Amino acid sequence: MDADIDRILWTASEISDRVSSLASEINRDFKEKGCDLVVVGVATGAFMFLADLVRAIEIPVAVDFVRVESYGSGTESNGMPRISSDLKVDVSGKHVIVVEDIVDTGNTLSCLISYLKSKGACSVSVCTFLDKPARRRVHFELVGEGKIYRGFECPDYFVVGYGMDFAELYRNLPYVGVLKPEMHT
Ligand code: PRP
Ligand code: MN
Ligand code: MG
């Protein structure tokens, strides 16, 4: 374990099992749907989860990324996310699954879902590895037949690893852990 980590919440193998189940749900739900599927990862945090998830998706799928920034180098959302790197794929008339590492206040998702709706996505679902409901401030609504897929509910600690950072570090850890308080306070 990294010396800056207090304790591990989910090991690499627990993560891998959960990601397989999420992919199975997605395979089942989207197999019979008529139109194209696009998975949109929110950079940077979602990169590792997205890579694992799409490897287990067994239907044709396009992969794209957007960058939505709200945290900078701190630990608190500033409440005003902006899309700083746009989609490459045209999502109009397509089923979109937004892939996130964590939903915290909900600001990032609510901004992104409105944007995808305005681009004409026929449905917008969300697949988030972690959900931290204790910190939710903004309610977001899915689009069309969109549905939410959640990996784990996250207790209210500052967590890092499996894509999640503090000041851009720790994203490469293959597990999710609680950062020692003295490292971020
Ligand atoms: C983190 C995380 C989510 C977002 C969730 O990203 O990856 O995208 O915050 O927080 P919210 O629900 O309060 O909006 P961050 O802005 O830190 O960028 P990063 O993915 O590059 O680390
Ligand atoms: Mn992010
Ligand atoms: Mg971050």
Q: Model confidence at 4, in pLDDT bands (50, 70, 90)? A: very high
What average pLDDT does the structure give for the chain?
A: 94
Q: For the chain, what percent of residues have pLDDT higher than 70?
A: 95
Confidence of residue 75 (pLDDT cuts 50, 70, 90): low
Rounded to the nearest angstrom, the distance between the alpha carbon of 182 and the centre of ligand 2 is 23
156: annotated active-site residue: no
pLDDT tops 80 at residue 42: yes
Distance from the CA of 26 to the center of ligand 1, in angstroms? 23
CB-defined site of ligand 1, < 6 Å? 42, 44-45, 69-71, 77, 81, 100-108, 165
Q: Kindly state the average pLDDT of the residues 36-50.
A: 97
Say yes or no to pLDDT of 124 above 90: yes
When pLDDT is cut at 50, 70 and 90, the band that residue 12 belongs to is very high
Ligand 2 centroid – CA 32 distance (Å): 30
Atom number in ligand 1 closest to CA 138: 12
Which residue among the candidates 36, 64, 90, 104 is catalytic per the annotation? 104
- Could you tell me how far CA 108 lies from the centroid of its own chain? 10
Contacts of 73 (CB under 8 A, 6+ apart): 167, 168
CATH classification of 5-27+37-70+82-184, choosing from 3.40.50.720, 2.40.30.20, 3.40.50.2020, 3.40.1350.10?
A: 3.40.50.2020
pLDDT at residue 81, rounded to an integer: 87
pLDDT given for residue 76 in this prediction: 61
Which residue's CA lies nearest to atom 18 of ligand 1? 69
Residue 129 — left, alpha, or beta (φ > 0 → left; ψ -120 to 50 → alpha)? alpha
pLDDT confidence of residue 74: 58
**How large is the average pLDDT for residues 125-139?**
96
Radius of gyration of the chain (CA): 16
- Over residues 63-91, mean pLDDT: 82
pLDDT exceeds 90 at position 78: no
Name the residue at shortest CA distance from atom 22 of ligand 1.
45
Q: What does pTM read for this prediction?
A: 0.95
pLDDT at 73 > cutoff 60: no
pLDDT for 16: 98
- Environment of ion ligand 3 (residues, CB < 5 A): 71, 165
DSSP for 75-98, written as a single string: SS--S--EEEE--SS--TTSEEEE
